[in-house]
Amino acid sequence: MNISVVIPTMNEEGAIEEVIKEIPKGYEIVVVDNSTDRTAEIAKRCGARVIKQKDRGKGRAMVLGAEKARGEIVVFTDGDGTYPVEKIPEIVRPIVMGEADAVDGVRRFGKSMKTINKAGNHLLSFVASVLYGRTSDLLTGMRAMKREDFLGLGLKSTGFEIETEIYVRSHKARLKTVEIPIDYKPRIGETKLNRMRDGLRILKLLITSIFNRSGSQSR
């Protein structure tokens, strides 16, 4: 299967070169960029396809990247150096082997994330597990899925709540998702996440999705 790596970026000039160079050879790399710095220039120089994003938002960037990707499988990761992109072959293997429809990278945080952020992620993951089905890392930014399955979810989220919507809609679509532990490194550059605002959006999405029957319910 052909595989595309989709990387949403916003002002990641300090990390994007290292991220791209650590991706194993043979994969299409699609950088969806909404930067005001040199991120796009550096990504192009490193061999990535760069798609300029007109509207801000990680959710929009992920959907746009999947639409433009040529691979049968899409792998999503961030451009800030936090995810072990060298493990992409391991991430995609269950899908290639027909053992899963999707794979989530479950982060082992260590000291790479602030305690309050870890606590928030654990709390939201617990709520999601109670409402829908077990997830060890609701907000992971590293995952793989067949491109047609991803686009078939009909995702609407524009911001960081996109990971939660992927989880909810994948559950409703009865996609078999497996989890693989991954290391999580300190990010390079400043975070774009607003803990309070984005946390409330994620919680709201989890609760309202229970009563919203739209979207795929079965495969």
Whether residue 216 lies inside any domain: the answer is: no
What's the CA gap between 78 and 40, in Å, rounded? 14
Which of 33-47, 155-169, 187-201 has the least mean pLDDT?
187-201
> 213: which residues sit within 8 A by CB, 6+ positions away?
none
pLDDT tens digits along 203-219:
888 888 877 754 444 44
pLDDT at 190 over 80: no
Whether residue 217 lies inside any domain: the answer is: no
pLDDT tens digits along 92-144:
999 999 999 999 999 986 555 566 667 877 888 898 888 898 899 999 999 99
CATH number of the CATH domain containing 57: 3.90.550.10
Instruction: Give the mean pLDDT of the chain.
Output: 89
Whether residue 12 lies inside any domain: the answer is: yes
Closest CA to 92 of 184, 4, 32: 4
pTM above 0.85, yes or no: yes
Whether residue 219 lies inside any domain: the answer is: no
User: What is the chain's length?
Assistant: 219
Domains held by the chain: number: 1
CB neighbour burial string for 36-47, b if at least 16 within 10 angstroms, e if fewer: ebebbebbeebe
184 with 108: CB under 8 angstroms? yes
